Amino acid sequence: MTDSTTPPQTPHTPTVLVVGTGAVGGFYAARLAAAGAQVSVVCRSDYATIAQQGITIHSFKFGEQHFHPYSVHEQPETFPGTPDYMLITLKVLPQIDLAAMVAPKIGPNTTLLLIQNGIEIEEKLHQAFPNTPMISALAFVCVSRTQPGHIDHLCFGHLSMGHYPPQPVQPALTQLVQLFKHAQIDAHATDNVVTARWRKLVWNAPFNGVSVLAGGLNTREIMDDAPLQQLCRDVMAEVVDLAAAAGHALADDVIEVNMQATERMQPYRTSMLLDHEAGREMEVEAIFGNALQRAQQLGRSYPHLQSFYALLRAIGRKR
């Protein structure tokens, strides 16, 4: 089966520049191209492969899809002109100066779209470009880069997105949601993406942390181990409590909803585990460090989150 999405007829073909074409970036880039957007990509480690061969995606939903970007770049500045949307899917790492990287390609009609993990990750970029519209998004998707230019899409795929700073949904966000829906992606807009980020942290913190600290387990192996499953629930409870203290109360059943979703998913090796096994830096600060900074500001203590943070930082320093 190959992808055969019919591009929608629009008076203007939106131009998209994807910065960070790993598993998440490559997957959504391919879907946007299938929806009729003109999609170019920035990639470093896979540049030669993607420039020559494009990206092949093996999807449980869309079958096998082969995506040839409109243009391929090693750095954003070689992209000609400025895009309508700059889709940023880079890892959130302290040493990446994202504002300096993207500044040359932000035009008067550019909207920044962040699909990244963690909480409180948008403000620095917003301060650098206060007049540039920013949409922050959460991807609920299981995708893995299996080799250069190849991505496996195992399950899920929906997006939750909202304006940053939070505000009621504007037409520009509605248009972007519709573009993803044309791409057969379940996308929806939210009035408060900051709360949505805390909601995703309820899953990200326990399963990313346990997958590494327990020696390389996938989600199925974690769920099948009763003590580890309980540990995940305990970490989730801390995130829920911290979110409420920070002004982002979550639904009473958020823990159970996440556990049931994990029970249904295919065995999945988390992004933090894949980074750890490949010798890449893990997103420890974005997922754990930022949360604990907020906890400190609020005068609260969370022993599980603190333990995960200390252990994962120690593992990272040994690289």
CB of 170 closer than 8 Å to CB of 202: no
**Residue 10 placed within a domain:** no
Q: 163 pairs with which residues across the strands?
A: 135
Domain end marker among 139, 171, 191 = 191
CB of 197 closer than 8 Å to CB of 118: yes
**Residue 6 placed within a domain:** no
Q: 85 pairs with which residues across the strands?
A: 16, 111
Instruction: Give the model's pLDDT for residue 6.
Output: 37
Question: Are 281 and 147 members of one domain?
Answer: no
**Residue 252 placed within a domain:** yes
**Residue 9 placed within a domain:** no
Question: Are 142 and 261 members of one domain?
Answer: no
Q: What global pTM score does this model have?
A: 0.93
Question: Are 77 and 207 members of one domain?
Answer: no
Distance (Å, whole) CA 43 – CA 272: 19
Question: Are 174 and 210 members of one domain?
Answer: no
Domain end marker among 191, 225, 242 = 191
**Closest listed residue to residue 255, CA positions, set 210, 308, 198, 300:** 198
CB of 105 closer than 8 Å to CB of 83: yes
Question: Are 242 and 292 members of one domain?
Answer: yes
Per-residue pLDDT of the chain (319 residues; tens, 9 = 90+): 333 333 444 468 999 999 999 999 999 999 999 999 999 999 989 999 999 999 999 999 999 999 999 999 999 999 999 999 999 999 999 999 999 999 999 999 999 999 999 999 999 999 999 999 999 999 999 999 999 999 999 999 999 999 999 999 999 999 999 999 999 999 999 999 999 999 999 999 999 999 999 999 999 999 999 999 999 999 999 999 999 999 999 999 999 999 999 999 999 999 999 999 999 999 999 999 999 999 999 999 999 999 999 999 999 998 7
**Residue 7 placed within a domain:** no
Distance (Å, whole) CA 68 – CA 95: 30
Instruction: Give the model's pLDDT for residue 319.
Output: 72
Residue 11 DSSP label: S
Q: 137 pairs with which residues across the strands?
A: 115, 161
Amino acid (1-letter code) at residue 121: I
Instruction: Give the model's pLDDT for residue 12.
Output: 85
**Residue 278 placed within a domain:** yes
Domain that holds residue 160: 15-191
Which alpha helices (H) appear in 133-225, and where do they start and end?
A: 171-182, 193-213, 219-223
Question: Are 163 and 204 members of one domain?
Answer: no
Which alpha helices (H) appear in 123-183, and where do they start and end?
A: 123-128, 171-182
Domain end marker among 138, 168, 191 = 191
**Residue 208 placed within a domain:** yes
Question: Are 259 and 170 members of one domain?
Answer: no
Instruction: Give the model's pLDDT for residue 11.
Output: 62
Three-class SS state of 21: coil
Residue 47: which CATH number? Answer: 3.40.50.720
Question: Are 59 and 187 members of one domain?
Answer: yes
Residue 223: which CATH number? Answer: 1.10.1040.10
Question: Are 214 and 178 members of one domain?
Answer: no
**Residue 126 placed within a domain:** yes
Question: Are 144 and 80 members of one domain?
Answer: yes
Question: Are 165 and 229 members of one domain?
Answer: no
Question: Are 168 and 205 members of one domain?
Answer: no
**Number of folded domains that form the chain:** 2
* E strand or H helix at 56: strand 55-59
